[in-house]
Amino acid sequence: MNFIESPIKDLIIIEPKIWKDDRGYFYESYNEKLFKAAGIDTNFVQDNQSLSQKGTLRGLHAQANPYAQGKLVRVIQGKAIDVAVDIRKNSPTYGQYFSIELSGENFTMFWIPPGFLHGFITLEDNTIFQYKVTGMYDKASEIGVIWNDEDLKIDWQFDTDKVILSEKDKQLVNFKDLRSPF
């Protein structure tokens, strides 16, 4: 497994070793020993999975302490642009984002620790997105920022006139109004 630091400290891109042959492929999507050696020493408590059609945007979300979540994300089928926004108030990259393409073809995974908003947009129909989280879901701890915030200027690499959003995600605040708990 190859662990690569992103331009924003603590966001880690993970490229697993893939064994392919005429039967298909095999890879380890998680190995506690390797993750600890790479500095990701955490306890995962829940796995989540979503199926989304092309243009579905989920985010930007986080949870406040004590229910803050680290997320190990990947796409099993299809393709998505995954985005993490630094909301750690004392970070030199506060308010900056990093995005990466995750797909069922590239097998890339992405580690997002607590202190970041997270969201993704699907680029293909029937995209299956999976994430392991370090904290249990707690509705009262949810925080979020609107996906098209003018200050963040996120390039979603998609025709934004065709974005599919939940009612909840349409109501999120602007970044300047976020009171970050991190």
C-alpha to C-alpha distance for 120 and 101, rounded to whole angstroms: 9
Cα–chain-centroid distance for residue 72? 7
Is residue 61 part of the annotated active site? The answer reads yes
Q: Among 27, 30, 61, 118, which one carries the catalytic annotation?
A: 61
Cα–chain-centroid distance for residue 41? 18
C-alpha to C-alpha distance for 35 and 125, rounded to whole angstroms: 31
- Contact of 102 with 80, CB cutoff 8 Å: yes
DSSP 8-state secondary structure symbol assigned to residue 174? P
Q: Among 67, 97, 118, 131, which one carries the catalytic annotation?
A: 131
Is residue 118 part of the annotated active site? The answer reads no
The torsion defined by the Cα of 3, 99, 63 and 132, in degrees rounded to 10, comes to -40
Active-site residues, by number, are 61, 131
